[in-house]
Amino acid sequence: MVGTRRLGSLFVPVPSPVTVVVPAKINLHLGVGPRRADGYHELQTVFQAINIVDELTAYPGPGLSVFVRGGEQDAVPTDSSNLAIRAAALLAEHTGVDASARLVIRKEIPVAGGMAGGSADAAAALIACDALWQTGLPRARLAELAAELGSDVPFCLQGGTALGTGRGEVLTPVLGRGLYWWVVAIAAEGLSTAAVYAELDKQRGADASATPPDAVLAALRVGDPFQLAEAMHNDMQPAALTLRPALKATLAAGLDLGAIGGMVSGSGPTCLFLARSHAAAIRIGSAMTAENICRTVRVVKGPVPGPRVEG
Ligand code: C5P
């Protein structure tokens, strides 16, 4: 995208900033298979994008930098380990353009909450810088770069509901019905994804097989929240509960308050509850907030479409 700026009597072209809004993800099913030679685990997972979003704006450079705004801004690294910076640098390297962008992230997705906050920002940075630098990469090529950045980044480019295999980066869209109301309980302190996988290997050996996602896929085909509540499953939950035993009380509270299903989301520590309706979700969310059992509670819906370019 290009605008113009007056320089004396000349109008010179300057790229206009690009803003991308990108959703968080939850896992309706997370089946974890054996640990591979590269250290990653074979997954059979069902991702769903929800309406908790980060907003990333890419301004013209100089150089590559990132600024984070929002409640948790201090928890996000702003050096070259930041996933959005890494995404922009990878795109620049791949296309041969100058790596020159100032990325400003308005952060709503919990940090280290198992909801792909960093991966969402990386996906947004790929889309925003591709537009800012007019590199025009096809979606399939952006998805390949996304997979180099992290297992969840390809889904964050795509949105909706999808089956993820491989290490999570091989995606097949799920043709499901229905809109689901979720209550998301965000813990005070994050959990490291790598630490939860390591604990899981310790508990069940590194060559265990993944629980297949068939029951969740069948429930999504029917579009029945009660069937989905029965089917939702997370192989990582025992490991997350070992590392963070307080989550057991959070899960029990949500179910006591009327959620029809509840489990740890992804590698945790966020807990995810399915409600029978929007009204029920608001009721459960308010009661959980009053119980003060976790840091924040959000009522959200899914699926939502993937990232969108604003303006
Ligand atoms: O791919 P990503 O950087 O998000 O993964 C973070 C960590 O989670 C990896 O370093 C690895 O320890 C673990 N992981 C895994 N198997 C996967 C995905 C992630 O073991 N399929």
pLDDT band at 111 (very low <50, low <70, confident <90, very high): confident
- What mean pLDDT comes out for the span 271-294? 95
Q: Which residue has the higher pLDDT, 61 or 247?
A: 247
248 in active site: no
224 in active site: no
| Structure confidence at residue 2 (pLDDT) | 63
pLDDT band at 7 (very low <50, low <70, confident <90, very high): low
- Of the chain, the percentage scoring pLDDT greater than 90 comes to 84
Report the chain's mean pLDDT, rounded to a whole number: 94
Residue closest to 168 by CA, chosen among 178, 179, 176, 156: 156
Q: Cβ neighbours of residue 299 under 8 Å, at least 6 residues apart?
A: 181, 182, 183, 184, 275, 278, 281, 282, 285
Can you tell me whether residue 238 is helix, strand or coil?
A: helix
pLDDT in tens, 251-262: 999 999 999 999
- Of the chain, the percentage scoring pLDDT greater than 70 comes to 96
CA geometry: angle 194, 115, 99, nearest 5 deg: 80
pLDDT band at 3 (very low <50, low <70, confident <90, very high): low
pLDDT in tens, 212-243: 999 999 999 999 999 999 999 999 999 999 99
| Cβ of residue 40 lying under 6 Å from some atom of ligand 1 | yes
143-169 core/surface letters (b: 16 or more CB in 10 A; e: else)? bebbbebbbbbbbbbbbbbbbbbebbb
pLDDT band at 6 (very low <50, low <70, confident <90, very high): low
Cβ–Cβ < 8 Å for 167, 154 = no
Distance 238 CA to ligand 1 centre (A): 17
On the question of pLDDT at 1 being above 90, the answer is: no
| Structure confidence at residue 37 (pLDDT) | 95
| Structure confidence at residue 237 (pLDDT) | 98
Distance 73 CA to ligand 1 centre (A): 23
Q: Which of 121, 130, 152, 235 is catalytic?
A: 152
On the question of pLDDT at 45 being above 90, the answer is: yes
Other CB atoms within 10 Å distance of the CB of residue 295: 16
pLDDT in tens, 132-177: 999 999 999 999 999 999 999 999 999 999 999 999 999 999 989 9
Cβ–Cβ < 8 Å for 131, 1 = yes
Q: How far apart are CA 249 and CA 263, in angstroms?
A: 12
Tokens of 199: 């604990």
Can you tell me whether residue 254 is helix, strand or coil?
A: helix
CA 260 to chain centre: 23
| Structure confidence at residue 12 (pLDDT) | 65
Tokens of 111: 């940090």
Atom of ligand 1 nearest to the CA of 194: 12
Q: Which residue has the higher pLDDT, 201 or 5?
A: 201
pLDDT band at 73 (very low <50, low <70, confident <90, very high): confident
Distance 14 CA to ligand 1 centre (A): 39
Q: Which of 25, 107, 121, 235 is catalytic?
A: 25
